[in-house]
Structure 1
Amino acid sequence: MTLPTTMNAVVIDGKGGPEVLQPRELPLPAITPGHVLIKVAAAGVNRPDVLQRQGNYPAPKGHSELPGLEVSGVVAAIGEGVTRLSVGDAVLALVAGGGYAEYALAPEVCCIKKPDTISFVEAGAIPETFFTVWHNVFERGGLTPGESFLVHGGTGGIGVTAIQLAKAFGARVFTTVGSDDKCAAAKSFGADVAINYRTEDFSEVVKAETKGRGVNVILDMVGGDYIEKNIRALADDGRLVNIAFQQGSKANVDFMRVMLKRLTLTGSTLRIRSDEFKGGIARAIEEKVIPRVAAREIEVPIDSTFPLAEAAKAHQRMETSEHIGKIVLTV
């Protein structure tokens, strides 16, 4: 495969609103050992991209400063030491940056071969949310079949993934959303109980629906006053996993309740972890989840697609919070 010397990409020109996302022509990334160069077909758009654009989530040192944490496409070149993949393989990949471009560099260990039964757009919407949910809900949160699970924001990228994975692996699923229409959408993805947080107190609904016991695991990206409500909504020996703090990371918490209920409060961020760590998650997903995606037992709902050069419009769509499913850039 003959490679060009330059590529179209989207840079963050300053920091601020979607308008700071600007198309640019840039050199191709240099191919490094253990990495593959992917000719990008699609790139998922995620909340961390918005935070990076605003200046609140910089790229890890040594990684691309271009936004974009997940891509799908075809391997265009391989670096020294690459053994699992070959030029021409169709893949999806988790990257620490650089996804908003015609070519992206990805660690081989963070790549998964794309099933033939899904599109590149669907594949490009998988890595960031599936890696995040698998690690935080199943590995860190320890969700097991027969337990109950609550995820906030059930119609966003993380939410629709968490609902489907938890349901597929035998949990009773609760979620919160911001409208009755979104309640219906969340139930269509498999949620057993969908709560409109604008009209109901989710912690009270959870208590009523579980006969006072509460849920076993909560995945939260809201923070703020949700932290105390989450603690009230957890069952004895429950686990609260935070992956973001849209309403702030500080809260007044009664830790007596944490002690008496033997709760575990934890959280993580994926972007700064090592390639080897992410590779371990990739292998688990490859083994346990991708076959279900290939068989269409787990879907990848797509809200909308935008051409790469219109990344600003994609961010505008995300910031309305009206989307249901993933927003994807096509290349």
Structure 2
Amino acid sequence: MPQFPNTRLRRLRAYDWSRRLVRETRLTPDDLIWTVVVSDSADPTEPVASMPGVERLSVKAAAKAAREARDLGIPAIAIFPHIDPAHKDEAGTEALNRDGLVARAVRAMKDAAPEVGLICDVALDPFTTHGHDGVLKDGRILNDETVEKLIAQAIVQAEAGCDVIAPSDMMDGRIGAIRASLDSAGQQDTMIMSYAAKYASAFYGPYRDAIGSAKALTGDKKTYQMDPGNSDEALREVAMDIEEGADMVMVKPGLPYLDIVARVKAEFAMPTYVFQVSGEYAMIQAAAAQGWIDGERVMMESLAAFKRAGADGILTYFAPRAARALHG
């Protein structure tokens, strides 16, 4: 490589136009998936205290959000439910309700903006009184019994009009079982985005507040979510889910796991997504509120980092705000 003074890398950084010409990674609204929490509340919106700027949305407000996503060029919305405690039980029965909150939200959002893709979370934690993702017995999460419930939940969501089923539970074998059952139910065109490398992270706290499971959660999820110290295991998880029929794979959380995103994309060359989770969002918002960081710049820099690591798209609570910034 030529040496200084013949080579001066700063020359290309001197002007806005030259920096744009040589930029290697570009973020666009096409890279964003808006994460939305829907609620049965009579109020159109409810603020989430631990996530400034995020609100739980009524079904009607969620339909309005779908139109907003369409107008901003955001291609998809990921839906997460805040279930009335009166509808929760030990088994998460409400997850199978064909006229439940998720199904009604999906139908309303599809009616409002059919061109926006809808991604539905498949797990039992929003629906259980204990806050775990699966069937709990004697302090243990039962894998195979949980998978049977996830199959039924996925079919309910697909029949309601969900475009992408996104199992976030981390049970072994659930992708293959859900794929086979969707196909048998005539839902062979429904896609699966697997939470393939989901870590037992401390960054999920504000999300559990948003869906109302934080106080209910008994113990932790370390027996089924991944150990934050593991990297090779993530590749094994991703490989298994691809083999079982996943159309897309996801790494969760985001910024602390950029190395995993990069390894997964390089190894498999599959559509790879990353979830900028609630704790990441809340930290940026809290620091910005104190004036310690430029919130707008940090938001955009963090999203660009996911693209630079190899992600094809980002699930983020910042999606509408980032899309507006990208539109100038």
Q: Is TM-score (shorter-chain normalized) higher than 0.5?
A: no
Instruction: From the two aligned structures, give the one with the greater strand fraction.
Output: 1
TM-score by length of 1: 0.30
Q: Between Structure 1 and Structure 2, which shows a larger proportion of helix residues?
A: 2
